[in-house]
Every structure is written in structure tokens, then in C-alpha cells.
Amino acid sequence: MDNTSKPELNMEKIVSLARRRGFIFPSSDIYGGLSSCWDYGPLGVEMKRNVKDAWWRAMVHNRDDVVGLDCAIIMHPKVWEASGHIAGFSDPLVDCMDCKQRFRADLLEGDNCPSCGGKLTAPRQFNLMFRTFIGPVEDQASIAYLRPETAQGIFVNFANVLSTTRKKLPFGIAQTGKSFRNEITTGNFIFRSREFEQMEIEFFVKPGDDEEWFKYWVNERLNWFIGIGIQSRNLRLRQHRQDELAHYAKGCYDIEYLFPMGWSELEGIANRADFDLKQHSRCSGVDLTYFDEEAKEHITPYVIEPSSGVDRTVLALLCDAYSEEPDKDEIRTVLRLHPRIAPFKVAVLPLSRKEPVVTVARQVHSRLRQCFAVSYDDAQSIGRRYRRQDEIGTPYCITIDFDSLEDNSVTIRDRDSMRQLRIPIEKLTPVLQAKLSGEAFEVLPDGGKHWLGF
């Protein structure tokens, strides 16, 4: 793998901005934090919701061949026996006899501890699922697991969805939700953590049509990332070698992003063939076939699985949007987020805290919040307020001044170009709707994207 990094951006800058501006905090921070667990703050939760909403709209609402599902996190333990997770979902683990640190054996180079050079124990398998118990007694019969992926909930509901929606092949089932993996090796901020959120589709097709749909979903998913603002130059496709494929997979592509630490997986698209439905049908005794009316026979569909991480997508968007540029004697930090992803679409900034300017500003704020996520900021100078909004990715700022009392107009400032436009208040909502809903953009001199500028 090419480990080329971005020389102009390091992860420390992203972590600092995320914490300073309320995107992401260390979990249990007042107690010293909990390793590789994170809390999304007031801005982060909005951005994360926007990512999931954009995915759901594109993958479910805008399609006739995909329906949604929301499965329980704790499932019957036999689900994980059938899927192979209990027997095979593990990593080889070694411990250093000197410094007591723990490592994945398959990621080490050499036979000694990478931290202190000490001797390592022999590898042993470590199951990645979090184990818990159902009921008051903690015994073997009450063992259950937090799901390590959302996919199995879709497979075990295949017959339920088929009978209630009466969908015809090809069709998909989409799900977003939390998954849990007791990872040995974590790090790089929210890139790999023990609690994470997935966005997955299991797309069921007739055997023989799978290769065509496999190629389709690879291109569809790559274009989706570009559509939410990630620059195509920072994305690439990597096909898995035969010796990399999971035991159930006929083929797999990774969509990789050039993170500060190098090219790493953002999403995987796999051709899972008919393994999952056949396995659950055999283990449960329930028929999970599909009756092909044209051929007049029961078939087991093949499955194409696009699976992405919400947290990794958020991280990629933050990295891709981050920009620093000279501004007089200072450096302006800007998050050039696509308007659909930005936590706030508009900020209302009154130039005075005195009446009647405040009254007009509050009226404008009240009107706009019916259509957009709007911030109201009246603290410090207007220049500092612009910089705050730039740093959190707000596409447009609306200033209300004393002239607004006379001409009933306000000034819109564009985040990326910093150009300004004076328009009447009654035209403000439709103008913003047009700008925020559009896809047109221009490329700025620094390579960034300016969405529907003035």
C-alpha cells in the first residue's frame, strides 16, 4: 500500500479543531478518558446526522429498489455461530514480556516488541466480540454478544422483509447503526475505535447478475463520496487480492481515502455470493430462498454489500475540508464542508447588541430556522465571528446592521470566497434555498471547492 501522507495536514490539527469547536470529545473526559471511545459534541452530532441523512436519502429515499431496517444490537447467539464470528472472528495476539504492551501479531515486523525490543509471547487468538449476559445469572446459557457488524441482522430478516414488502430481485435492505469490536490495535482518532457506526446495504441479486451489480455499486459508492464534497484526487479504488478475500467473498473493492496517516479504507464493497443466506437457512432450519417466477424455481440470491463507517466518513470529510490560508497578518482556518454536511447552514450575526438591531436579527433568525440549521452569534467583533463560522464550516453568514432598519435588507457573506451580497430580507430564504440545494461549484486557486458563490 502507498503510505503517502498529506504534508500540509496532520491529525493533531484535526483533533485540536474537533475538540476546540465542539465536534468530538474524548469519552469520559473528566475521568481521564476511555481508550478509543469518543463523544460527539454539539457540532459533531449535527455533522454526523447530516452524513447519515445524506446516505439514507441517496441509498433509500431516492431509490425504488432499497428498503430500510433497524435491527437490535443484541441478537440470538446462534446468529454469530452461524455467521462464523464466534469461531473465526479473531486476531492473533502477542504480549511483550517486559513492557506488558499488547499487539496484533499479523501487523508486526520482526520477532521483538516494537516499543521496547523485549521478547514477545507466542501468538494466541483473541475474539473481537464484546460478550455480555442476558438475565440475572451469568452462566454459559445466558451469554450474548454486542453485534460486531450490522449485516447479520439484515440476513436473518430477509424472509420478513421479502414477505412484507413483496420486493422482486434485485432489491436491497439498508441499515445504519452501532457496532462493537474489542479491537487490539486502535488509534488515529475516530478512524478505528471499539464503538462505531456503520452504513450498510445488502443488495440481493440473481446468481449470474452479481458481477454486473458488483461493478455498479463500486461506481455508485465512489460517486457518492465525491457528491458530498470529498475531492476525487483523495479517493482511490483498491481491489482485494485473492489471498485477502474473506472466506465468503467472491470479490471485494475498498474505497480508500488519503488520510493524514496515508491511504486507508473508507468503505468496502464485497460480492458475498450466496454464503450468508445459505448458512442461516441451514443453521436455523428456515427457508431463505427466493421464488423466481420466470424460472419457476427457488433460488438463493447472491449478495452485494457496500459497507461504510459513519465515523470514518466524518473524519475523511473533516480532513478533506480543512484549509489554512493567509488573511492579512493572520492565518484563516476554513472547513470547506459541502453545505449538506455542514453542522450549520447559516449564521445570523447582528452588528449591534442594541435595539432595534437585535429585534430584526432575532426575526431573521426565527424565519430562517424554519428551513435551515441556523446559528446566532453576537459575541466579540464581526471579524472574529466570521472566523469562528469559517472554522466550523458554516457556508453563509447573514449580517444585520443599522442600515437594515432603513432598507429592510441584509448582507450575505460567502464562507469560501468571502464575497458579500446585499439582498432584501423577504428574498433571503429563497436565495439561500437555491444556493444550499445546488450542486454547482467552482474550484478556488488553492484547490478547494466554492459551492454556488456569488
161 to 59, 71, 151, 169, 286: CA distances (angstroms)? 17, 12, 14, 12, 14
Mean pLDDT of 369-381: 95
Share of the chain above pLDDT 90, in %: 70
What are the respective helix, strand and coil percentages of the chain, to the nearest 5? 30, 30, 35
Question: With 90 as the cut, is the pLDDT of residue 298 above it?
Answer: yes
Q: What is the DSSP code string of 8-71?
A: T--HHHHHHHHHHTTSEEETTGGGT--TT-EEE-HHHHHHHHHHHHHHHIIIIIT-SSEEE---
Q: What is the pTM of this model?
A: 0.88
Question: With 70 as the cut, is the pLDDT of residue 149 above it?
Answer: yes
Closest CA to 395 of 375, 414, 376, 371: 414
CA separation for the pair 349, 398 (Å, rounded): 6
Question: With 60 as the cut, is the pLDDT of residue 440 above it?
Answer: no
CA separation for the pair 296, 172 (Å, rounded): 22
CA separation for the pair 171, 302 (Å, rounded): 11
Q: What residues form DSSP beta bridges with 377?
A: none
> What class does CATH assign to 11-75+136-317?
alpha beta
The answer to whether the beta carbons of residues 360 and 422 sit under 8 Å apart is no
The answer to whether the beta carbons of residues 22 and 41 sit under 8 Å apart is yes
Mean pLDDT of 259-287: 95
Mean pLDDT of the chain: 90
Which stretch of DSSP H or E encloses residue 215?
helix 210-227
Share of the chain above pLDDT 70, in %: 92
Question: With 50 as the cut, is the pLDDT of residue 1 above it?
Answer: no
**Which of 145-149, 173-177, 238-242, 331-335 has maximum average pLDDT?**
173-177
Closest CA to 43 of 227, 299, 318: 318
Number of CB atoms found within 10 A of residue 282's CB: 11
Closest CA to 257 of 304, 221, 220, 303: 221
Question: With 60 as the cut, is the pLDDT of residue 439 above it?
Answer: no
Q: What is the DSSP code string of 87-113?
A: HH-EEEEEEBTTT--EEEGGG--SSB-
> What class does CATH assign to 344-451?
alpha beta
The per-residue pLDDT for range 162-192, each reduced to its tens digit, is 999 989 999 999 999 999 988 776 678 999 8
Which stretch of DSSP H or E encloses residue 424?
strand 420-424
Identity of residue 17: L
CA separation for the pair 377, 351 (Å, rounded): 10
CA separation for the pair 221, 224 (Å, rounded): 5
Question: With 90 as the cut, is the pLDDT of residue 96 above it?
Answer: no
pLDDT for the residue numbered 345? 97
Q: If pLDDT is split at 50, 70 and 90, which confidence band does 122 have?
A: confident
pLDDT for the residue numbered 326? 87
Mean pLDDT of 333-354: 95
Q: Where are the domains of the chain?
A: 11-75+136-317, 344-451
Q: If pLDDT is split at 50, 70 and 90, which confidence band does 42 have?
A: very high
pLDDT for the residue numbered 141? 83
pLDDT for the residue numbered 3? 42
Query: What is the largest distance, in Å, between two alpha-carbon atoms of the chain?
Result: 79
Mean pLDDT of 21-27: 95
Structure-model confidence comparison of residues 352 and 94, the more confident one: 352
